[in-house]
Amino acid sequence: MQYHFILQDNTQKAYRLFTWFLIFFHLVAAGVIEMNGTWKQTRAELFIFFILLCVSGLLYYFFRKQKTWTDALGISLALLCFVFWERNAGILAAILIGLIFILVMAIRKKKTVVFISEEGIVVKRIFGKTNYAWQQLDNLVLKDGLLTIDLLSNKMIQAELSKENGLVDEKQFNLFCRQYLPNKN
């Protein structure tokens, strides 16, 4: 028998704030560069900015009722930053900015998953995975949607289960874990 649980991720807000910080940073940099530019160049930049801002507004209008409206708005603003840096600093700077946005968006989509089987426990995080053998555990329990992994090394992993998991028979899960824990037999 094998169980797998998706853990509730509390870092999504931090990644979203980092993305908005990058966009704010680009807007400030754009303002400073535009203040030092010529009127002809500024007029062309404002025209491109206006078009992309309209596209962002349309994306917001169509996606605002969906859960992913902030992603759509973020992508359109990232395109605005990409175009700005391509025109003002060159294609390499624009590619670097684009790669940073893509990396942050990809990281935001990953979830922390715990796999529990007869062989042991695997905690798959955003940047890697950790394996625990049953002999390394002092206790493993699921109660009221809260998974607690207590290690013999006095470390503890405790996290809420995501709503994506659905209903879990906690009693059956705890009995399964109890039969493999070294101290609980």
pLDDT at 185 over 60: no
State residue 67's pLDDT score.
65
Q: Is the dihedral of CA 152, 158, 162, 168 positive or negative?
A: positive
The pLDDT of residue 115 is 92
Select the more confidently predicted residue: 22 or 95: 95
Task: Determine whether 80 is exposed, middle or buried from the number of CB atoms within 10 Å of its CB (0-12, 13-18, 19+).
Answer: buried
Top-ranked range on mean pLDDT: pick from 6-10, 157-161, 163-167: 157-161
Handedness of CA 133, 128, 18, 160 (dihedral sign): negative
What's the confidence (pLDDT) of residue 131? 92
pLDDT over threshold 80, residue 29: no
The position carrying tokens 């409206």 is 69
Highest mean pLDDT pick, 25-34, 73-82, 123-132: 123-132
Read off the pLDDT of residues 37-96 as tens digits, 9 standing for 90 and up. Answer: 665 566 666 676 677 667 767 766 776 676 665 666 667 677 777 777 777 777 888 888
Q: What is the mean pLDDT of residues 30-41?
A: 65
Percent of the chain with pLDDT over 90: 6
Angle at 141 between CA 153 and CA 124, to 5 degrees: 70
Q: What average pLDDT does the chain have?
A: 78
Q: In what order do the strands lie in the sheet with 137-143?
A: 137-143, 146-151, 156-160
Q: What per-residue confidence (pLDDT) applies to 122?
A: 92
